[in-house]
Structure 1
């Protein structure tokens, strides 16, 4: 299982036991798939604290949660494009005071970054 391997890898790198995790999933995952991911985490020995859409995780990684006090005070609507290897996901987030609220999300599992790369190469 992927989460078991990730847990083992994280523990080896950190040199300590890992008990909790935040797991990202594609934007197009439905509730059943999200629950199955959470269940897989528990089977791997992890308490899954949160399931986060990949576009939301990308926004956090980009640093949108690290804005100045003045920037945080203003409500912002952000459009995130996530062109993964095999999927294309889009999310609209509303951010204020470091609270991320997903307003809308959609994905196409048949279109992604690899598809764009191939089209550019063919061009």
Structure 2
């Protein structure tokens, strides 16, 4: 979370080895270098979702970020680039979006067709 807001963050591990504490810092740039392969892997589920829905990325009207990792500026940039500079919707709490998604999936899996869930399902 710190690197989502600042350009560097402290790393502190108590008793890393034989009671010796470890203290260092990491920059956002270094973090992005270390995680580059992981960041690039975000496109696999996005492309699969588009294929499964038989949609092209140009037909997407809104991009809602879901989950804590979507706070990472590099991930936001990669997604925005992937969707041809379409603005990302950051107005929804990313952690709450996960809970809503789980509730929608539960409704689908249980066959819930009540009024409470009707508006949640697309």
Specify the TM-score bucket, using the shorter chain as the normaliser. 0.3 to 0.5
**Higher relative helix content:** 2
Normalising by structure 2, we get a TM-score of: 0.36
Structure with more contact order per residue of length (Cα contacts < 8 Å, sep ≥ 6): 1
Normalising by structure 1, we get a TM-score of: 0.36
